[in-house]
Structure 1
């Protein structure tokens, strides 16, 4: 497993050594008592690999399972919270309690993941993020600020799926699964959150514009910063967004290129409130053979 993620990092970033927190995440997973399953069981990636990198930013970003496959999904939230706390970035205790309450007795699909942002150029500079599974209701539990969001303006059938918490930035992010609708159906919600012109950036920045998104299953993230600012992003799987044109994706994402043995996952389209541009990233994981057992994939959780 370690050799696969080292090769992925080297191909994607040129780094020959894993940054410290990613290295620690890999070490936790390598301690699995189910070594035959550890690279093919996770719902984080299409192949089941338990680590994903994000290409298209200025720092190395990654997401990983908080524990090996033998650990129950119901135990993963507390393990993830403990990992963040051990590095001085503990989530707010009241929010953590609200998430525990929301997950109690639920039929969980993954429980929790952890994310990291590490800058190779700045030793010791890092941010950690908690991804916690939440019930599909709106407003999501335990979130005082996003409860005021106009959730009722989302298309019928939208479901909350996951909450992202980044303590170092005071940022919370709700991930929503949308029904297969025309993206213009999102305009009421976007206008109400100060992003009325955002789809103009998608129309100009994406091959075939908004037409490439129509009829596809999309995800939406709604982030609230500590200063009250709101950020929106759309998600789609690379496989469905560019099924026969991988070069289109390479043209959109800085650093992706056309090489590498990786497998692409979710494409993130960061929305500019003024519609002036489009920030695009993509998740990648090692090009493993199909998973065993838990046949799902990140797109069924976040999208």
Structure 2
């Protein structure tokens, strides 16, 4: 623990982390930034995929068949392109850039994701998972689509609070623990001073352009597209310098007492909860079908022999 001259806890050095490539099929590669060995969670955020940018060949596109989730919220946010969400609650929702698809799995939900018909723009965006606190991990599943989110424009930087709260702005999206997700972008370059919550851990993901951090325990080396910087906690302020064309995502939240357990598409605080969900999916219990999807659901991978979740 590092303390400053006044005895207060000072932030740790910001840490740059690399992701790993993962193939989702149909030529779609993602850069998986969370979880990884060096960092399992940022506050309640336990999963982060940077999607694309990718342009599909004619007649092809993203097609992720129905699959189950428990214990989390999926957050889909696009920069370009469009996706079509279908779920076991009966929702069928197209999402375009600047809109939020928020699915709360709770006790159990199934959904599919496909390229939206008629859209030929490159697919580029992010998908996050929010781990639900133990008090809410078995809540009723739900789905929200929001296109009227709090936004600002200052010092050449445009911002949008996707979830949670940042300074005086509060997203209407449903959340179950203290957190924030926000996007910042700049067409010609700009400076953005931020007031942060010292109780939160924070991380920054660069989508395009270059981003330079200003503040205590921050490197002056610009962050590049696809890079993720873990800022840790105990920060009250942070300055961002965005180059022309830069875009980034800020994630933050109050850390859980212990990291959650993740296996396949399931998140839970106890391994037994995940094993029960796997058994229900394999035996067609609990999870209703995604009736709007044409085709079979995904099969779960086998549980690893003698596997125990960390």
Compare the two structures and name the one with the higher strand fraction.
2
TM-score calculated relative to the size of structure 1: 0.30
TM-score calculated relative to the size of structure 2: 0.30
* Structure of larger gyration radius: 2
